[in-house]
Structure 1
Amino acid sequence: MRHVRKLEEFEGAWQLSRQIADRRNGEEGTLEGVARFTPDGEGRMRYEEEGQLSYAGQAPMTATRAYIWEASEDGIAVSFADGRPFHHIALDRLMPDDNHHCDPDFYHVSYDFSAWPVWRAAWRVVGPEKDYRMISEYRRASGA
Structure 2
Amino acid sequence: MITISVDGEEIVTERQGWAIIANCKSYARGLNPAKNADIADGAIDVMFLPMKSRIKLFWWLFLILRGKHIQHSSSVYVRGKKIIVSVREASQWQLDGDAIGAKLQMELACVPNSLLVFSGELGSVQKGDSPKTLE
Pairwise same-fold verdict (TM > 0.5): no
Structure with more of its chain in helix, by fraction: 2
Instruction: Give the TM-score normalised by structure 1.
Output: 0.23
User: If each structure's strand is expressed as a fraction of its own residues, which one has the higher value?
Assistant: 1
